[in-house]
Amino acid sequence: MQTILLQHATDAYGISSDFLIQDGIIAKRAPAGTLQDATDVVIPAKGLTIFPGLFDMHVHLRDPGFTQKEDILTGAAAALAGGVTDVACMPNTKPTIDTPETVQYILDKAAPTGVKVHPIGCITNGMKGESLCDYPALMQAGICAISDDGRPVENAEQMRLALEQARDLHLPVISHCEDLSIIHGGIVNKGAVSEQLQVQGMDRASEDYITAREIILAGSVHGSIHIAHVSTKGSVEIVRLAKREGIAVTCETCPHYFLLTEEKVLSKDADYRMSPPLRTEEDRKAVLEGVLDGTIDCIVTDHAPHTPEEKSDFYHAPNGVIGMETSLAATLTLYHQNLLTLPDIVRLMADRPREILHLPKQTLEAGAPANLTLVDLNKEWIVDPNKLHSKARNAVFKQMQFRGKAVLTMTDGVIRYRDKD
């Protein structure tokens, strides 16, 4: 294994250091310009910012079963290009992640990629909402949480029982908050835009209702709940109130919910369709405020690849957008607007996801695993879907110009990605 010296890398707190990487760990960290050890590779990092490896706790790798959309290898490559060293993958695969064998398949296939892939098991067998999975067996196999993401657990009693079992196992539960009877086949946010397009809308009540339900159920069993991809003003306010009341609830959102609105779908481009959908400007502002005041715990992507053919028909395309290669850059928009600090971004995109999933914190101190990313905060680039590492091209930020980009990603002391532009 190569010995690597990173010189003059500045962390999120403005401290410039040299980092000596040996045998997969940060062997030494010292003031910039002071390490002169003999090394195989020297990386001048002056002007670059060093972050601990980012963690995206909500991705769909489509593997097994839907590898025409994405697979673990291409998903890992996309993650590394975005500065992401760890991901938690959702269980709506084929077969679903409801047996130890499927968990092991994912872990084995991910092993050589350099990305630590943490499988999320199903809440119910086959995500059918009928019977609960064998959580102890799945935990022993290596899951980090349970979810039926992609659809809700429709039966409230089933969800309550799942929360109760998960509480006793100290197992995180992630909820996709959507009432399917309210959605009733909607494809975009219900409101002025859906009326203008003359299509069925997705009422915000669907998300708000299940968000409230999950919090009430978690509170009733003295358990905890994590709310996925928050997109509405109502859900933000419900979570904020629950936190004030001392209920153990955490939540996440995605960059498209605090940067974009439903106006995007007026183009009838299915790449702007996802579930939950892009909402109104009022919702966007509320989600942003939730990020800024700490109501929203972390930023994820809900990376959901589909083939170009699937996304070619606005009216019948599946929901979902890709985002692992753009998430950091999109979030840095808030840094450049002086709304978030770099330590805030580390908390939202690295520290807090690991805490929620009960995984070790990644640091940049001597003795820690060398899982990190170097970021050029001022690198300007335009998102070209054809240059991304995912198999898919349904990038919600396509053709947008960002300022800030991961230029090198390392896991276990090995350089896994280096920007060529």
The residues annotated with a catalytic role in the active site are 302
Q: What tokens were used for 411?
A: 């896991």
Buried b (16+ CB within 10 A) or exposed e, 97-128: bbbbebbebbbebbeebbbbbbbbbbbbeebe
Distance of CA 65 to the CA centre of its chain: 21
Q: Report CA-CA distances (Å) from 126 to 123, 288, 298, 419.
A: 9, 35, 28, 40
Distance of CA 101 to the CA centre of its chain: 24
315, 199 Cβ separation under 8 angstroms? yes
Distance CA 219, CA 213 (A): 10
323, 302 Cβ separation under 8 angstroms? yes
287, 253 Cβ separation under 8 angstroms? yes
Phi, psi of 18 (to 5 degrees): -100, 140
Distance CA 258, CA 279 (A): 10
Task: Please give the span between the terminal C-alpha atoms of the chain, in angstroms, as a whole number.
Answer: 26
Count CB-CB contacts under 10 A for residue 183.
Answer: 21
DSSP 8-state code for residue 37: -
Facing residues of 20 across strands?
Answer: 5, 28
186: left (phi over 0), alpha (psi -120 to 50) or beta: beta
Q: What tokens were used for 224?
A: 């905890």
Run of H or E including 17: strand 16-22
Cis before 64 (ω within 30): yes
Q: Which residue shows structure tokens 């276990």?
A: 412
Distance of CA 298 to the CA centre of its chain: 8
